[in-house]
Structure 1
Amino acid sequence: MQHTIVMTGATRGIGRVAAEHILRRSPDTHLLVVARGSSGARPTPVPGAGGPTVSCISADLGSLKSVHSAATDIRDRLDRGELPPLRGFVGNAGIQHTNALTEGPDGLESTFTVNVLANHLFVRLLQNRFTTPARIVITTSDTHFGDARHNLGMVPGPSWRSPDTLARPGAFPRPHTTTAGRTAYSTSKLATIYLVHEYARRLPPGIEAVAYNPGFVPATGLARNAGPASRFAMRCILPALTLTPLATDRKAAGRHLAEVALGTIQAPSGSYVDRSRVARSSKESYDRRREADLWETAERFTTPGTDSAP
């Protein structure tokens, strides 16, 4: 049966590869891509897709008002029958800044907004439109482990604060530094796992939620806000690590993401998929109190009508 998968972060990097795999392997899929500057819902061809269509909707993931508008538009299209039934959401978009002070239009810290709150807003506004069985996939990162084995010493480990603090600029010491920006990134990825655990407990039966870790993938757009030296290393030097177990090449990471989204890689709801297999995330990532706190804060920031919501 024809169905819709909504996807962010599908225009470059592993998301682009995953989108092409989804459309090739699942001919019944209509892929709705959420991206900044997209032009409405006109179907456009995807290279190698073999015929299926992809439509686009514009949203700035750093603006909760923009995300709310896009999610509401998707919901309305589903209600009008303009889109096939919704069977999946892939929150693959992510951002990393060179500081922890970058503020979005809502007055919130940009890393936390894009990597955490935008996904939560999509999930909550679309959750009653899913046709089961359905799957939600949120791309996370093994930087949330905070050790050299998982982050190669390049990204500091997470530094958890109250979610209300994490959502605000300047949550970490020396917030103007690259170290603080990377700490904001790893902490936001820990937060995505907390929310996946909450989704598994709170969403209606038949809707699975899975956290996907692609591993370290050089030569993607994640370092686009870094300095020239870091961008050069990511583009020209670090790709050599894909020849070792320390890194994953873009094609493999995208293929695994597609397999998780389509359910080819079987994973219980609430689980953590490390590349192509279900695994345990960090010990710190299992904390019911933090998960509940984050849920409450994410709800407050994303629910219209509250002081902190768009």
Structure 2
Amino acid sequence: MARRPHDHYVVLARGDAARAAETLGQATGADRVVGVSCDLGSLADVNRAAGMVTAGVDAGRLPPLGGFLGNAGVVFLTTDTRTADGYEATFAINVLAHQLLIRLLMPRFVAPAWVVLTTSDSHFGQFRYTLGATPPPRWAAPAELATPRHGGPQAAGRAYATSKLGTIYLTHALARRLPPGVGAHSYNPALVAGTDFFRAAPQPLRAVMQGFFRLQLALGRGMTAERAGRRLAETILAGMPGPSGGYVDRGRAVPSSPESYDEGREEELWREGARLCG
């Protein structure tokens, strides 16, 4: 994406964002890439990062926002991992932090613009999507999902699938609220190998999961990180297919799970998510 001439990009990263932006600029020849550090595990840091972006737009150092790609996601081995705010980390990072960040940036979007949030086909909760590696989602009140609780790998996998269902609910709620000409889509990259996604796991389990991912890659059920990233970028640059609020599976607009269409849950998430984010 950064190789496109005349575009300006902001890289939000938990670590050394300035270095990440510099590396991206050197690799692509882009000279308008800005880094802003942002730890999605801290709502205060999300507020700070969003404030830096909006201040840059208001001062003319950055152009009005034309797009937002939320590509961050985590999975843990337990459901008692806490963020800086005391929330269950999977739901807080994958859903609440993105909701807060986009809400704070919304007034700076200028049409035509887009918001894309990466989700997962694990939200279907069916064997043909997960091969039994992830339990099906189990939705509950947002305050309950944000509460740390005792649970091992099985519960943690369910929390991940549930958070990805929440990402689709958030996308639908956003589509009803974004300014005209600004669309929202959820995007499923499917199984992606080679991302160190299970870095929180002990080495033996991490090796098993990485082996499982490589096997699926060999069987044609997944993609390398490079290929998946290219597919995502090409889809965005070509114009997201389907109407705002839609679900895009590796570049194709398709229906998400029947459970993912629930306006009552979507509005509850929007309302209660705002309260949880302060």
Q: TM-score, normalised by structure 1?
A: 0.84
1:207 aligns with 2:185: no
CA distance in 2, matches of 1:90, 1:284: 24
Name 1:194's counterpart in structure 2: 169
CA distance in 1, matches of 2:191, 2:6: 31
Name 2:139's counterpart in structure 1: 160
Q: Is the 8 A contact 1:108 1:167 kept in 2?
A: yes
Report the RMSD for the aligned CA atoms in angstroms.
1.8
CA distance in 2, matches of 1:236, 1:41: 31
Q: CA deviation at 1:39?
A: 5.2
1:146-157 pair list within 5 angstroms: 146-157=125-136
Say which SS state the counterpart of residue 265 (structure 2) adopts. Answer: helix
Q: CA deviation at 1:295?
A: 0.9
1:50 aligns with 2:25: no
1:297 aligns with 2:272: yes
Deviation per residue, 1:11-70 (Å, 9 max, x gap): xxxxxxxxxxx112x222222111123355996242541334322111211111110110
Q: Which amino acid aligns with 1:227?
A: P
Q: Is the 8 A contact 1:212 1:260 kept in 2?
A: no
Among candidates 206, 224, 237, match of residue 262 of structure 1 = 237
CA distance in 2, matches of 1:261, 1:131: 17
1:138 aligns with 2:113: no
Say which SS state the counterpart of residue 191 (structure 2) adopts. Answer: coil
Name 2:89's counterpart in structure 1: 110
Name 1:128's counterpart in structure 2: 107
CA distance in 2, matches of 1:288, 1:271: 14
Q: CA deviation at 1:163?
A: 1.1
Say which SS state the counterpart of residue 153 (structure 1) adopts. Answer: coil
Name 1:276's counterpart in structure 2: 251
Q: Which amino acid aligns with 2:52?
A: D
Alpha carbons of structure 1 residues 201 and 39: separation in structure 2 relative to 1, 3 Å = closer
CA distance in 2, matches of 1:113, 1:159: 16
CA distance in 2, matches of 1:154, 1:212: 20
Q: Is the 8 A contact 1:116 1:192 kept in 2?
A: yes
Unaligned runs of 5+ in 1: 1-21, 303-308
Q: CA deviation at 1:201?
A: 1.0
CA distance in 2, matches of 1:159, 1:43: 38
Deviation per residue, 1:252-289 (Å, 9 max, x gap): 21112212333444232100000110111111101111
Q: Is the 8 A contact 2:11 2:20 kept in 1?
A: no
CA distance in 2, matches of 1:250, 1:90: 16
How high is the sequence identity, in percent, across the aligned residues? 44
Name 1:33's counterpart in structure 2: 11
1:92 aligns with 2:71: yes
CA distance in 2, matches of 1:229, 1:144: 27
Q: Is the 8 A contact 2:143 2:276 kept in 1?
A: no
Q: Which amino acid aligns with 1:195?
A: L
Q: CA deviation at 1:108?
A: 0.9
Name 1:68's counterpart in structure 2: 47
Q: Which amino acid aligns with 1:81?
A: G
